[in-house]
Amino acid sequence: MTLTRIEPNTSQSFNLTSTHILWSSQLVLFSIIGLFYLFEWEINGELIFIIAILMIIPFGTLIYSHSEFFPNKHSAIGVVILGDKSIKLTEGLFEYNYLNDLKFDISDYKGEKIRFPSRVYSAGPSLSQGINNYIEFQYNSQIYKIQFQIHTKLELENLGIIIKSLYKNNILFKETFKGSKSYGLRHLNYKEIQEFKKENIC
């Protein structure tokens, strides 16, 4: 399977999020209220309208945040081609049997909801860009750490199938999914682990 290889892009411009809108609006709101009492402004229709809008904004940002992506501060720099016997990178073709300390550290896919804001002042991005995924290995005393993007849930499932095939091919490696030990990108209980090993590990 082919995955998009990425790296951090520090030159990207500022990304405005619902969090910025929320707290900026509230700063303006409290500033207006403070100035109102300090200078004893007269209440008028325009002032009431502005205050009402500023008070509504937190509810709008909360609703919007449920469909908002985290900013993507990474750029595509190539592809990672994973097979059941090798990894192909720009640097070359690496057969699993010749790799040391092979690790798959998988966290998310693009569009996955990884945050669940529920309070008015908890607005902020909720959907992942699918960029928190890594393959790490050592080859000829050189350490490679490859970051890549997973675009869909189906792509994540296909990656799990590839990883599962490595067990059947007796490849030595470690895998974690969302920070904890997994088997074919699945978290299993003790009984399921024994069944998995029986089916996939010779």
- What token pair was written down for 116? 């669940």
pLDDT at 60 over 90: yes
pLDDT band (50, 70, 90) for residue 41: confident
Q: Residues of the chain with pLDDT > 90: what percent?
A: 80
Query: What average pLDDT does this structure show over 92-110?
Result: 96
Q: What is the pLDDT of residue 15?
A: 86
Query: What are 106-136's pLDDT values in tens digits?
Result: 999 999 999 999 888 899 999 999 999 999 9
pLDDT band (50, 70, 90) for residue 14: confident
Q: What is the pLDDT of residue 12?
A: 67
Is the separation of the CB atoms in 102 and 174 below 8 Å? yes
| Mean pLDDT rounded to a whole number for the chain | 93
Query: What average pLDDT does this structure show over 52-74?
Result: 94
pLDDT at 180 over 70: yes
Is the separation of the CB atoms in 85 and 95 below 8 Å? yes
Is the separation of the CB atoms in 118 and 89 below 8 Å? no
Q: What is the pLDDT of residue 200?
A: 86
Q: What is the pLDDT of residue 80?
A: 97
Residue 78 gets the label, from left (phi > 0), alpha (psi -120 to 50) or beta, of left
* Coil, helix or strand at residue 171: coil
Q: What is the pLDDT of residue 43?
A: 80
Q: What is the pLDDT of residue 188?
A: 94
Q: What is the pLDDT of residue 167?
A: 93
